[in-house]
């Protein structure tokens, strides 16, 4: 199985390799345009970015599947605060499946900076005195006390998007 990831971020590559390990995939990374702002600000924008990455990755390579992984921020009517969210999209050129990963509420001082127009990665680097945290444990790792890291969070979203390609239930009508 050949999988193309619509990003050259090493954490996104790690997420795909770890999540799909049992399929022994050949994984290729390819720089693509997500078609959305660097900091996605809604579930819709985040999913759109993942879908665009998946489609572009597949068309740029001879892969069997294109994968798009996207982190964003969003507010939910049901709960206060700004949340970090993770979404994935997978396509084989005919079907496009999507899956969501974990979400975690951002601390108010981080959310305030995002509201002022900054991007999460650099804000987290500043708050944690690090460099390129988005390419390591990410905000998810920092804010969950390393109970989950960015690769695992993105991997969960990928599992939910890739699963429908592997099970028959999606091809059968409901009784």
> pLDDT of 15-25, one tens digit each?
999 999 999 99
pTM over 0.85: yes
Helices (H) and strands (E) in the chain, counts: 6, 6
The residues pairing with 73 across neighbouring beta strands, listed in sequence order, are 84
Residue 73 near residue 140 (C-beta atoms within 8 A): no
Residue 15 and residue 170: Cα distance in Å, rounded? 24
CA 75 to chain centre: 17
Query: Which pLDDT score, from 0 to 100, does residue 88 have?
Result: 97
Residue 23 and residue 85: Cα distance in Å, rounded? 26
Confidence of residue 75 (pLDDT cuts 50, 70, 90): very high
CA-based end-to-end distance of the chain: 32
pLDDT tens by residue, 88-121: 999 999 999 999 999 999 999 999 999 998 888 8
Residue 103 φ then ψ, to 5°:
-130, 150
DSSP string, 6-63: S---HHHHHHHHHHTGGG--EEEE-----SS-SS--SHHHHHHHHHHHHHHHHHHS--
Query: Which pLDDT score, from 0 to 100, does residue 140 have?
Result: 84
């Amino acid at each position: 199985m050949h999988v193309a990831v619509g990003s050259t971020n090493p954490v996104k590559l790690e997420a795909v390799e770890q999540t799909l390990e049992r399929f022994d995939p050949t994984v290729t990374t390819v720089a693509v345009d997500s078609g959305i702002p660097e900091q996605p600000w809604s579930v819709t924008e985040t999913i759109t970015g993942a879908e665009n990455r998946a489609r572009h990755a597949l068309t740029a390579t001879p892969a069997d599947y294109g994968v798009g992984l996207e982190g964003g921020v969003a507010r939910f009517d049901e709960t206060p605060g700004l949340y970090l969210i993770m979404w994935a999209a997978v396509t084989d050129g005919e079907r496009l499946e999507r899956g969501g990963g974990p979400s975690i509420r951002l601390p108010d001082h981080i959310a305030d900076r995002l509201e002022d127009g900054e991007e999460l990665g650099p804000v987290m680097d500043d708050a944690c005195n690090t460099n390129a945290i988005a390419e390591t444990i990410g905000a998810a790792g920092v804010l969950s006390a390393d109970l989950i890291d960015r690769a695992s969070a993105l991997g969960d979203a990928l599992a939910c998007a890739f699963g429908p390609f592997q099970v028959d239930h999606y091809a059968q009508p409901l009784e």
